[in-house]
Every structure is written in structure tokens, then in C-alpha cells.
Amino acid sequence: MEHNLREAGFFGTMEPEQMTAKYGSPVYVYNEGILRSRCRELKQMVTYPHFVIDYSIKANFNPALLQIVKEEGLEVDVMSPGEIYLAKMAGYEPNQIFYICNNVSEEEMCYAIEAGVTTSVDSLSQLEQYGRLNPGGKVAIRLNPGHGAGHHQKVVTAGKETKFGIDAEMLHEVKEILARHNLALIGLNQHIGSLFLDKEQYLKSVDSILNCAKEFPDLEFVDFGGGFGISYHKEDKKKRLDLKDLGKELDEIMYRFAEEYGREIIFRAEPGRYVTAESSVLLGTVTAVKNNHENKYIGTDIGFNVLMRPVLYDSYHEIEVYGKSVEMSGKKERVTVVGNICESGDILAKDRMLPSMREKDVIGVLDAGAYGHVMSSNYNGRLRPAEVLVKEDREVCLIRKRDTFEDLAGNYVLLP
């Protein structure tokens, strides 16, 4: 029998079947120990004393998880007033929140200015807007280093073909706008894209942002971005981005730059996925088993409203099966695992060799903690799942209730 996460103690004092019975199926289950160890690995990746890890909460903004991340000493980066609100709910102070704007309205920008969080803008037009709204204020700008990286074209966030950042050639205009509104440029940031396993593109972008940083003598920080990859494939789990190796290179670069720069400077990185992805298993239930022509389908309650990544990016997630019958038979077969949404693209895993399953078996979708629950929806009138946490003492607690029909209907207004 293969070693699975249940045997490894991931679910604490409860069995997966007890969890779906108690909290509803599907349910996102998080493991506190794994979350904390990822935070610690990141905190320890360099020795440079002024290095801040901003957890990019777009990957998962459950405030209970943010409380843990905060206890581990990570700050946060946010994308919207909603994320500012949730970070504050988890206890973050405004000076620990970095708001990275992309095409935001005046209203959103004002919210951030009033909240007192550091704000980064990513176009000349938004820099003008910031200057009008907060003359004499402090601001950061997002640069586009001219090349990107990522697991899918949709998540490459730098380079000529993307909407993000300001080109290095535009620094002259940046300086004009800063002067016109009497703004202090306190930071430069960038983000090349999501999920790279190789450090080279990241280091190339570090080089490029530091070249720009030399032109601004009063910076408080330079933020190199996130994107640190993990492996979603069980067989090459160790093939994640080597943080220690990257950290060693960064250390050398940061110490050298700080010495040349001549004033204390903070460096930041903003990983999202690396922090939370592996801390969660999404549990669901087999609802139907059927043969359609050549294919054997395992129907489940995990539609793409619950986990969008496979449908949106063709992403791979390992699946484990926890049913008792499975353990006894030990048999495997080739199946396609699908959800309960009325679209034929609603496929969780295509042509996978998995233990032979029966109705009511509980399955686990691994590495679901980043871009999982936050990207879920009520499509097809489905209820978004509960989230539970297996604490370090192995006890299980609820950290988000499952939607109810009242939640689903709550914001609609009937005609009189």
C-alpha cells in the first residue's frame, strides 16, 4: 500500500470521511504544521537582515490562516480593498500591508491611502492618479523587467505581452510625475509570474530591478516578487524551487547592493503559492461511477466551481482515495474524474490510474491550498465549501462555514 496523507497524519484526530460528514462535502482541510514550516523555510532562506517576506494573500486570504502566517512573522501583499480589509481582520497593521494596484479606480486608491498602507502603482496613468489623490505622499512603482515566467501563459505577469508594470525606459516620465506631485518614491517592485522551478529568470529580473534602483537614491525597499514554484506531481515532489540555493545567490546580491547603495535598504519577496499550496487537501465524495463508451468516469461533487485550476490552466493535482473498499482491493484502473457542473469541460483529472472507486468513497485533491477556495464560486447554484484547520495539537476546527442557501440568495433583490 502506498503511503498517503491520511497515513501521514495530515487529518489529525479525524478521518476524512468524518470530516465530510461533519462539515459537508466538499471541504478544504488545512494543516497548521505544514503551513508554519513553509513560512519558516521562507523566513530562513537568506541571512541578509532586512529581508521581508510578504505573503501574497491572493493565494488564500482566509483570516485564520493569515493569523498563523502573521505569527510566523510574514507581512502581506494585497490586490484590493477587500484584501486590505481581510488582512486587517487577521490583525495586520497598515505598515505590514503592501497594496499592489493594477488598474484600480480612484475610490479603491483612496481606500488604500486612507487605510495608510504602502501603495504601488503600475502605470504612468495610475501614478498621475495617485499624485492627484495624495500629493506629497509616498508611493512605490511596479516595474516590468521585460521578461516573465510561469506555469501557464495566463500567469506570466511580466514581459512585452502583458499588461503589468512600467518599462525601465519610462523612468524619465516617472521622475517628472513624481516631481510634479511632490511624491516620494519609496519602493520598486516587480513580479515576473507564477510558479517557476528554476531560479534563472528570477535572478535576471533581480538584476534588472536593481539597475533601476540605482537611479533612485532614497528608496526604502526593493521587492523582487513571488512565483516560487512547488511540484504538484507526487513522484517529483522534491523538484520545487530550491529556496536555499536561490537565497544564497540573493544574499550575495543584496549585501553587495546595500553596500554600494550607501543606506539601509529593505529587500522583499512576495510568494503566495509556496506558503499555502501544500497545506491543504480538498476532500470530496464520489457520487457516481459510469462507463461512457471507452471511458470510465468517476463523478464527484468537486466541480470547477470548487477548484478552478484544472479547467482554467490544465493544472495537475494528485488525487488520493480514502474509501475503505479501496484499501482492501488494492486494484487500480484508468479513469477520468469529473465534477457535477453542467459543462463537459468540468474535468478534475483526465486518464489517471487510480484505485478502483465506488460511490460514497472520499477522495482528496492534494496541494489545493493556493488559488483553491479563493477562486471558488457559486456557479450552478452550488454552495462554496467549508474550510477547516487541523491544528498542531491534531484537533480540528472550522475556519470558514460552508455557504448556506441564505448566503446564496442573500444579496438578490426581488422586484416589488
Q: Is 38 annotated as a binding residue?
A: no
Q: Is 227 annotated as a binding residue?
A: yes
Contact 100, 120 (CB under 8 A): yes
Nearest distance in Å: CB 115, ligand LLP: 18
Instruction: Pinpoint the alpha helices (H) of 24-170.
Output: 32-43, 63-71, 81-89, 106-115, 124-133
Q: Is 379 annotated as a binding residue?
A: no
Q: Is 371 annotated as a binding residue?
A: yes
Nearest distance in Å: CB 409, ligand LLP: 28
Q: Is 137 annotated as a binding residue?
A: no
- Give the integer Cα–Cα distance in Å for 235 and 359: 28
Nearest distance in Å: CB 240, ligand LLP: 12
Candidates 227, 247, 310, 364: give the one binding ligand LLP (CB under 6 A).
Answer: 227
Three-state DSSP state, 336:
strand
Q: How many residues bind ligand LLP (CB under 6 A)?
A: 23
Catalytic residue among 39, 101, 110, 342: 342
Nearest distance in Å: CB 274, ligand LLP: 6
Q: Is 313 annotated as a binding residue?
A: yes
Residues whose CB is less than 8 angstroms from the CB of residue 193 and which lie 6 or more positions away in sequence, other chains included: 148, 149, 150, 155, 156, 157, 158, 227
Q: Is 240 annotated as a binding residue?
A: no
Cβ distance to ligand LLP smaller for residue 290 or 350: 350
The DSSP bridge partners found for residue 289 are 298
Alpha carbons within 13 angstroms on the beta-carbon side of residue 176 total 6
Q: Which of 53, 49, 80, 76 is nearest to 65 (CA)?
A: 76
Site string for ligand LLP, 23-62 (x = CB under 6 A): ---------------------------------x-xx---
Dihedrals phi, psi of 381, to nearest 5 degrees: 70, 25
Q: Is 394 left (phi over 0), alpha (psi -120 to 50) or beta?
A: left
Any catalytic annotation for residue 101?
Answer: no
Site string for ligand LLP, 293-322 (x = CB under 6 A): ----------------x---x---------
Q: Does 165 bind ligand LLP (CB under 6 A)?
A: no
Q: Does 194 bind ligand LLP (CB under 6 A)?
A: yes
Angle at 383 between CA 378 and CA 387, to 5 degrees: 110
Nearest distance in Å: CB 282, ligand LLP: 13
Q: Is 352 annotated as a binding residue?
A: no
Q: Does 155 bind ligand LLP (CB under 6 A)?
A: yes
- Give the integer Cα–Cα distance in Å for 10 and 274: 18
CA 85 to chain centre: 17
The DSSP bridge partners found for residue 398 are 388
Of residues 90 through 109, those in contact with ligand LLP by CB under 6 A are: 100
Q: Which of 76, 84, 203, 224 is nearest to 142 (CA)?
A: 224
Cβ distance to ligand LLP smaller for residue 315 or 380: 315
| Residue closest to ligand LLP (Cβ) | 272
Give me the torsion for CA of 211, 214, 219, 224, rounded to 10°: 10
Query: Which amino acid is it at 365?
Result: V
Of residues 249 through 278, those in contact with ligand LLP by CB under 6 A are: 270-274
Of residues 368 through 397, those in contact with ligand LLP by CB under 6 A are: 370-371
All three cell numbers of 223, joined, read: 521587492
Candidates 191, 268, 296, 373: give the one binding ligand LLP (CB under 6 A).
Answer: 191
> Which sequence positions are flagged as catalytic?
342
Which residues form the interface with ligand LLP (CB under 6 A)? Answer: 56, 58-59, 77, 100, 155, 157, 191, 194-195, 225-228, 270-274, 309, 313, 370-371
Residues of the binding site for substrate: 273, 309, 313, 343, 371
